[in-house]
Structure 1
Amino acid sequence: MYKGKRTLFYNGEILVDLMIDEDDGRDDERYLIYDQNERQSWEVIIVLPGVEEIPSDTFFGCENVKTVIMADTVRRIEWRAFAGCERLVFVRLSLTLEFIASSAFQECYSLVSIFIPPSCEEIRDYAFGGCQKLIIFNVPHHTQLGENVIARTALLKVTSFKTNEWGEYFENTEEVNQWIKNINQGEDYELHRACSSFNPLVEAIYGIVKQRGLCSFQKKNQIGLTALDYLVANPYVEKEIDQKLLMKRYVMEMMGEAV
């Protein structure tokens, strides 16, 4: 149990045997350790230290999982590893993660935000396709993105990029991928970047607020999100950064300067 929720502490075991039917080419899964009822009981997945890879289909279709927390030893997430986790809302990825395979988080309908660590070199096709509520997709500039990584997401819907009838953007892949990486670029969004970093520091955030004023917390970027939206969603905030305390500190200092 983790915070009173049914939890799997994952140690890297192979949980699923994926077999391909030679007659029709369709895949079939065989559960090796936990049956379907047990898999559907999990609400939290905690990946233990030492695990370096989440194999294909490991948590595919675990519909009641809401939280995934990875130790910082995980380097690869393979094909459909978390696909179909329909109630998944919180993911903390490993800070040494290098690779996210195709469809790894496809159709995680409840996922609103994902923060890709600087270590990640590649995210392949449809990795987050069909994540209907996904609006925060924080990704480093150097990370190579495949095709349709954010197809059929809330993030794609706020753009003017053309899609086909299935919500795919094959013809605009390069433009979409560049747009994703530049959402919070520019001087006006310095606070957004600080709040979505992988080591959000109170002093760094306060320094920007002091320079730009309290209104900087409520300034919206091109997709309608504030710096505070990123800060609240950021899974790498080690301790809560209290906006009210920052505001109080700002006001007190301004009053002191006025005196």
Structure 2
Amino acid sequence: MSIAGKHAFVTGGGTGIGLAIARALAAEGAKVTITGRRLEVLQEVASEGLFPMAMDVRDEDEVRATVAAAVTARGPVQICVANAGIAEGKALHKMSLDFWRNMMATNLDGAFLTIRECMDSMRQTDWGRVITISSIAGVRGLKGAPCYTATKHGLIGLTRALSEDYLGSTFTFNAICPGYVDTPIVERNTVSISERAGIDAEAARQIMLEANRHKRLIAPEEIAAAAVWLCGPGSQSVSGQCIEIAGGQT
């Protein structure tokens, strides 16, 4: 099944993993709606096949309206990539309820809203792919980041449950679980780890390198290649899976 001409909807599509996936899908001929909170960022990276739309995944009305507008402009969504998220560590005793709720609203509620609205049009078609971008923290606990870990575990649970709901259909649901990827998030985490641990930036960066089993950062294009494969021929029997991309066994 070719994805040429199909409408893909990618949240957090202006930078990092989301942008890499959007570009890879567009290269295969898909019409890709990219969303994010900052329209100017999306417009800077928009190119042939990429259509920018501002959207805050935490806002139910905004998600509903944006998906509806994208469907009107480019047809039913047949590839939904729920990628938007916050990656920030904070110890339990330093965590406020506002911090917890904001991360839950972005990483988990945002994925739920995006998938729900995209499925409304996808179910009217004969084929669809839903890909959630979880994390290696979704399959094991990440030290110093209990809230982030909880959201990514929840995202895998949502993905697996939906795959059961649509078992035997032409719709598949899979989670990609990367280790540390070379994106702007890593740069921000370098500063955060450095400040929390009282170490220099190079030592902080080394902590993330060591967390990946092959001791290097993962390129966003590696994640994008997995997403394209999940949408391509031969992947129709792959559903409810967690594709770990972390340089080795967890």
TM-score (structure 2 length as normaliser): 0.30
Using CA pairs under 8 Å that are at least 6 residues apart, name the structure with larger relative contact order, 1 or 2: 2
Quick check: which has more Rg, 1 or 2?
Answer: 1
- Between Structure 1 and Structure 2, which shows a larger proportion of helix residues? 2
TM-score normalised by length of structure 1: 0.30
